[in-house]
Structure 1
């Protein structure tokens, strides 16, 4: 931020007087440019504003009687120009949105710490400096607009971009006719090509050209000017255009043109102009000044200056007049009171002391500040949009030094704005990309092109994240002044892609396993069919019914084996989906349903109930596979028990069958692993996938009765 010119008088409003005093002390201690007064209520603040001129009002949002937004509306009723900053300790984005939508200059959340006060003071200074700078820019433009000489501005190729009122008066061409054309439209034929080549060589080399020139008006009449042409350069000394100032020196027309220009410039000016003598009364006012005050020119000349400006004390007018030095200029914002309505409206005033024939006069130019205020509101809305964008935004200068980051940058990277500003984006490098990667990036944006790509960055805490980054140059007048980077965090998308790739790889492995396992039944089926054909041939027309029946049974068993493999593969693939519908589930109820779904012969089930958070359908599939495993590998009267775990959350499924050898327990969950001749090797793999989908751990041990025991721990520490 540039240095604030002069001290800024701030009125801080908060019903917590102790906090207000503390804030005022910290703001003044933090900034050499702020002088802070306090008010304990909105009504107190309005009284202070009646008596004292302030450069900015800072108000708490929640106050009894009249809150901060209501105070803002009251302040705006009397002054559309005064910066107003709303502060609150409430974490409610709707308050900020409403405040900014109403036109509050800035919105700040109360935060403790010296760094927070430094940022707070900085934002107040910015608000004050912004409206001062905007006012000065408008005043400079006004000075050029109504200068006594012709002023025209061209681009670097000599194409006219701006002309002032004097240009129109002298040449006869309107601004609309001149803009977009070249000054050669005024050539009279009095000067040869060599004259203009010399002129262009001078200004193109960065030098100022001065000389007399005979031009021709739109009506064909020629006139003589004393012309000065100077290059306009940017910070890099690159020529971006030219400004030409033409003084008409045609003796025959000089007085006539000067008088006509003066009358046109002042009477038709877009700003109010008035000259005042030492007695405080106007010697001249233009029509625009009378319009601003809501009265006629004659009436305005009868009114004392001090009665028109609320900031002037009529009893101290003489002291005010004597306070000016010769040729002194003062620029300030004030309020002017309309004669017709009594309304006070914001205005920008430039006051200049001039001396004519030994007598001091004051020339005042007055501009309605409402348009500037609208511009500031538009700027603030744009800034708010960037500040609250969903993606991380950072702006750097042309060297890559960070000048601005939004809230999303802080949330994603872990670095505060204070930590990031002044450093370069290299602070986020993860080491994932080599120097050539960044050289290519820099070459692209320095050429004026937009760079897009994925970058792996590192947060303040050391964790990595992936962004889809777009970096665009910020163009000044034919030169790059900085860069804006918009980063979309795609870490979740990249993680999803990795998971999808891993799942596809698993499915590929499952397919290979099934293809392998299906080949054996298919080979058996082929062999059985061959045996069947041979049996028919051997029978010689006599059918051995018993042998045919046996061969058909073998073929049916092989087909059943293949169907089981296919069903298990489909079940395995289905478990790859995430479990989404959790609810508190009775293990006893689900186990009873699962037991009823399988052929248990004379096997027995006993359950000690417990509740778990689970998807009931998936839990039933898990238990069905375990029960089927116990029945298929145990005796006909195998006993299966489901019990809660003793020392952690979860449950266990155990049987009194042959158990699982210790050296095979690490392999039982691998797809395709089986010890049964007709097993598919998918049952326990499905069990593990369902458990992991729930976030549970699963382990295999020896049961109390010597069989297999599967333990499912449902707590995070299990």
Structure 2
């Protein structure tokens, strides 16, 4: 009640003050209006006086000293005095004066219609009471109104104007005291004020009497509002233009600073755990958001924990500028954390679904698509629009859609059954997928949809098909294929093994494989093979084994490691090809090649044999003739000797003795004694040459050996040079530089000789093609030397050489640059096969077109270790 009375008194005081202010303002406004009207009235009076004087001056008169033709000055002043007295009687507050300028001083002539002399008697008015400034302005020829103090300090309103009387300067001034004008307005203002106060008090009394029920309702509403605001579980704040909190409910205080804390006057922005450009109202609005929006902001709570508040704001504008902000914040910490956990869960699901190698789709109970992960789009190459609804079914191969309807919609079989089907991936291509459906339920346990997973098994299917093809290929392969464990125990053999070896699969599996210990291999080679394959490398070579019936056979084999997906060695696989017949054919081929080469050399060999035969024949003829001469000489000597000895008495004559002396020709005897031995020596040499050629041909033409042994490489080269002489001696000179200290080479002698022969013949043909009938010869240089563990044979010629393209194909079978019928293209191919394949050596070619060629053959002194 006391509060109510206080409000009534306050309201009454305010209303009285308003009435007083209104009355004072109204009185002042009317006073100024009256002042303006009074100024106009005085100005009109002054002007009328001036007009009267002017008219009187224009009136004719009989004489005077005015110097003019009008009424005299005294008459005019008298007339003005009469008029001023009448005005003074009508308005006692009015004061009129007429003066002139006399010697620079103002001399008053009339004051309120009386002469100045009348004031000397002390009639209670002095001309000095009039202000000098208005009169001076009038005497200066100006007219107008002026408010200011007179000589006694009273505020007066003056109207002034010049008064033309003859040729002199006169001035007319009319003034009125402002207090005369102000007094009635003050009285009216007091009347209005007291009447207004009475009416105000009466109005307040009546207002409270009439509005008391409404006030009571407002108070109840205010109390309810206060209870609502204070009891609300929301932060309710009012923020002023500076960003300061001007109101905060108890929940806001407890949430932000605790129940004992104070929020009023504090800035709101520091409570937000975000960066902002300022703390004023504009920054708060920019951060929280505009009106009608909700924005969740992290807030530092009173207990130091991080909280989240969802704000709703109402912006109050003042003249187009934000003046106040009403903020209602909802504590969204739990909801935020729950939403965050949900989002994290969804993100984890999406991350798992995105990273999943399995295609995943979610459908409703009718099969309409709700979600498809990236893998599904990748496998089907379909967009979301194409998969929408039941469009995903179009990605299933047309022939497999029946499986979908059967196992899913018709529920044939358990829901966990996995079905293999094909998903179309565009352009008629498809991928194999393992499809499975899992039913989803809602919170009531009712079915609400399905989760479909498609696992890409294309590689598995292709692997299975490849394995099937591989198995079929292995089973049908002509090569023996054997698989073993790490101990060399056989775990698998293919049908070719059974066919070649004669052992059945049952007899071979579980036994040590013959790939690692051939019947013809020594222990060192076997251990080298084992070391190679256990070291993870591939061993290649030939193995001689025995069939079940005891026959020997040769395998061209390769044995390699088998590793699991982790790269660990888990076994070995060997592939062997029965080359027994091939070796025989190759041997025949090489023999044919030798015979071909020998056939090419046949004419030369015949010539070589014919030449020594000719001079042996000539020498033998010579020896025959010589023997005849010897026989005749001996015979004559015998006759002479007989005659001399038989008849000494018959030849006492000296002539007989001379005849006996000339029976033997000493010169002839000397010639025969010198040339007969030479002829015999040449004949012997020729016969030896024939024997050597025949022996070399026999060695070269001899069938190749099946086993290697140690041979002198220099001897092989010499024999080959001898046999091939007719091929090179007409086109090139031969230069052989052997290394006499060269150790024997473990080789097949006939095969190596074939290689040397092919290289010499090729060199001779290249030189012949280059000189092309010119009268000059090329050179074939051959040398042998040791290099590390190998014997090196180098054959260099000055022939045509080869281009890089030809050199790259030089060792290819059947490749030749010779004319048709002059080469089979097998010479260098066989040479490489012999050197590399049979002896583990190497053969290289260094050539340039037009600059000859150098072939370098390296043969190991001893058979290299396996691998």
TM-score by shorter chain over 0.5 = no
Q: Which has the larger radius of gyration?
A: 2
Give the structure-2-normalised TM-score: 0.27
Higher relative helix content: 2
Higher relative contact order, structure no. (Cα contacts within 8 Å, ≥ 6 residues apart): 1
Give the structure-1-normalised TM-score: 0.32
